Amino acid sequence: MSIKSKLDCPECGAPIYFESNLLLTGQSFSCSNSLCDVSIALTATDKEVVSDAFNKFEQIRNTASSQAG
């Protein structure tokens, strides 16, 4: 499951748009302000931690969905 998200650039405040599944593959995402050179990416260690968190979230979401319906 890919989650489309954004966070504010720490340098200029413009949005940095990213997709969770692409972030986990090592892709970097740049600030939407063309005058800013900030980008985000995950280190190898971060990828594992974030991937585990996304998997746990997906399990919780699936459990909640099955209980609701």
Domain extent for 29: 4-68
| Structure confidence at residue 69 (pLDDT) | 65
Q: How many domains does the chain have?
A: 1
State the residue for tokens 């998200």: 5
Helices (H), ranges, the chain: 20-24, 44-68
Per-residue pLDDT tens over the stretch 5-59: 999 999 999 999 999 889 888 899 999 999 999 999 998 888 888 888 888 988 9
